[in-house]
Amino acid sequence: MTTINKEEIQKFSKLADEWWDVNGKFKPLHMFNPIRIEYIVEKIKDHFNRVDKGESPLQGIEILDIGCGGGLICEPLTRLGASVTGIDASEKNISVAKLHAEKNDLKINYLNKSPEQMDTEKKFDIVLNLEIVEHVNDVNLYIESCSNLLKTNGLMFTATLNRTISSYLKAIIGAEYLLRWLPIGTHDWNKFIKPEELEKKLSSNSLRTLDVKGLEFIPLINKWKKTDNLSVNYIICSNKI
């Protein structure tokens, strides 16, 4: 059994050289990054009762970023003091991520693996699943594998897209066909998952939902904001019990 969807891996491997081009195919993720990082750091600090340590608020926190791509989340979290491991099923993505980290003198443990291929004896304080569950082959196996890599009382962040008419219009018709923010075919609406469906899968793997937030693009300010609107993009923060 595997979570790897070869077609999805090939799709993103073809774009791997553009991961760090802020005006390229991954521009939406670069725009998306600040609000994701803000939310993740805020929840980590609250959950672990961490006092402000200046430039290194995540010092000593071990993070696993699954489906790390070119390292867009790994690098800023490393700069905030965390010990980060990034894994991706695309060998080309990992090569790009390693090279970029080396150029910036950042120590990040990058591995060309899927979660079910990881040694479960090594567990992490934080597991990140950001915009990945809609691309895997077996969501149930994927969530189970992620849970197996998380320490008791650790946090998992799962960000994905809701399966609604709004998400079809905005994330596929709008983002792919009209605005051309993403290459056509990036998403399959049938693979989007409703929050209540995802929460059920998390719960069956000893993951208790702590918070659910929508993430919405606001054209007037050209930025992403946290919201209670879960109709398109949303993120679930859960902890291992």
* Domain coordinates in residue numbering, the chain: 6-240
For residue range 72-115, list pLDDT tens digits in order.
999 999 999 999 999 999 999 999 999 999 999 999 999 999 99
Quick one: pLDDT band at residue 122, thresholds 50, 70, 90? very high
* Cβ atoms of 94 and 111 closer than 8 Å: yes
Cα–Cα distance for residue pair 135/37, rounded to 1 Å: 21
77, two tokens = 């979290």
Burial class (CB in 10 A: 0-12, 13-18, 19+), 52: exposed
How far from 120 is each of 43, 101, 115, 150, CA to CA, in Å?
Answer: 24, 25, 9, 9
Query: What's residue 187's pLDDT?
Result: 84
For residue range 172-190, list pLDDT tens digits in order.
898 777 777 777 778 899 9
Cα–Cα distance for residue pair 195/159, rounded to 1 Å: 10
Mean of all residue pLDDT scores within the chain: 92
Query: What's residue 37's pLDDT?
Result: 97
Q: Which amino acid type is present at position 124?
A: F
Query: What's residue 53's pLDDT?
Result: 59
Q: Which amino acid type is present at position 34?
A: P
Q: Is 6-240 assigned to CATH 3.40.50.150?
A: yes
Residue 136 pLDDT exceeds 80:
yes
pTM above 0.85, yes or no: yes
What mean pLDDT comes out for the span 144-167? Answer: 97
Least confident piece of the model among 50-64, 92-106, 125-139, 174-188: 174-188
Residue 54 pLDDT exceeds 80:
no
Percent of the chain with pLDDT over 70: 98
| Positive or negative: CA dihedral 73, 77, 79, 80 | positive
Cα–Cα distance for residue pair 149/3, rounded to 1 Å: 15
